[in-house]
Amino acid sequence: MISSPGDSDVAVVLGPGGPVGTAWLLGLAAGLRRSGVDLARADLLVGTSAGAIAAAALTNGRNLDELAELPSARSRAGDPTVMPRVFEILNAPGADPRESLRQVGTLAREADAMPQEDHLAAMEYSVGGRTWPDAPLLITAVDIDSGEPVVWHGQSGVPLHAAVASSSAAPGYTEPITIDGRRYMDGAFGGGSNAHLANGAGTLILIEPMGQMFPAAPVQAARRLSVMPDEAAREAFGPDLGDRNRWPGTYQAGLRQSAALVADLAPLLHKRPA
């Protein structure tokens, strides 16, 4: 298991944001990498949903330029009516959080969504394979039957693409992912960006496609840098984070925004070899 971060460590946490947020994260990371700033040099990377895709692609050395456009252009996949029902359940006053997640899991299981085999294949392409990189990487998901969050890592015995697919299996978008006989859905429901997994880090770099929509999560870190989409990127996102047709534009928005981050991030990401 990856050890907890220490007070001299740099942790990078990449949060959820649907296909649109995934494209922005990949563009941002690609732009930083072109400028000599590789987020994969962090002492710890935590990825959830869109962030899981980006974190796995980064640490696996994936050519991010190849992800500037989707292999095939498609409109929003799945059933867009499911997510509003999900938030009704999660926001119900007085509800038990685990019971709410179990109800969401039932919705996810029953929704008419992308077959899990298709999502697994897409994630294998996106992250560049099934084998975990030699990097301190954590990927989050939620067990749909227990409602319990899980954290995958290189010693979990789960293929990388399956861990990422489970973390990004949003209800109504794709079927829950089966791993060792159990089924898992989007890790964002277990704790947003799951930044608490970086507690104790000296510096936390929190990059959140949806950061402007929710209050900042409390994290125990000596220093915290928060990155979220700028005004131009938010305009590129549009009203639907699941709109895959916006992928190229949001990737380019992330690429452009990266230039403003180089000066702050370059001094922090020098400990691990590229």
Which active-site residues does the annotation give?
49, 186
Measured CA to CA, the distance from residue 115 to residue 117 in angstroms comes to 5
Do residues 68 and 251 lie in contact, with contact meaning Cβ atoms separated by under 8 Å?
yes
DSSP letter at 132 equals P
Nearest in space to 41 (alpha carbons), one of 13, 71, 10: 10
Sign of the dihedral defined by the CA atoms of residues 91, 216, 17, 158, in that order = negative
Look up residue 134 and give its amino acid.
Answer: D
At which residue do the structure tokens 């869109």 appear?
A: 50
Measured CA to CA, the distance from residue 9 to residue 95 in angstroms comes to 37
Burial class (CB in 10 A: 0-12, 13-18, 19+), 3: exposed
What b/e readout covers 89-124, taking b as 16+ CB neighbours within 10 angstroms?
beeeeeeeeeebbbbbbebbeebebbebeebbebbb
Measured CA to CA, the distance from residue 184 to residue 11 in angstroms comes to 25
